[in-house]
Structure 1
Amino acid sequence: MAELALEKMRVAVNKYREESGISIKTLAFSLEGISEQQLRNALNKTDGGPRTVEMLAKLLEIYPIKFN
């Protein structure tokens, strides 16, 4: 169940990036203490731990990302 929710978060963030043109670098900059590489790892499924969930959840709050 958690993996399904995480996948939906990844899809939502990637779709938002494509539609808005906002770069991963810009998204990472808005997350205090998160590097661009950490965000890339989270979005590319090389990291699936609690930190990833926290990162993506913050992005969903900060930006008008539709999470279905």
Structure 2
Amino acid sequence: MTEIALQKYRTAIEKYRKKTGISIKTMAFALDGVSEQQLRNALNKNDGGPKSVEILAKLTDAFPMDLV
């Protein structure tokens, strides 16, 4: 389940970033308690733990993204 969730979140975030031009730094700044490096790690395909899912879920709550 975690890998499927991560794939959906990462795809949605990448599409959103391309569409809006919002940087990872700006996105991380909008998240309380998440550093830019933590967000980069969550978006990195090599980091696939539950913490990554939690961070990316917070991000999609903060920014209006389509997860489909």
TM-score normalised over the length of structure 2: 0.90
* 1:16-61 Cα deviation digits (max 9, x unpaired): 0110000000000011111111111111223211111111101111
Instruction: Report the identity percentage.
Output: 62
Alignment of 1:9-20 (within 5 A): 9-20=9-20
Alignment of 1:39-54 (within 5 A): 39-54=39-54
Alignment of 1:1-68 (within 5 A): 1-68=1-68
The 4+ residue runs of structure 1 with deviation greater than 4 A are none
Distance 1:5 1:47 in 2: 13
Distance 2:42 2:27 in 1: 12
- Return the offset for 1:2: 2.4
Gaps of 5+ in 2: none
Distance 1:26 1:19 in 2: 15
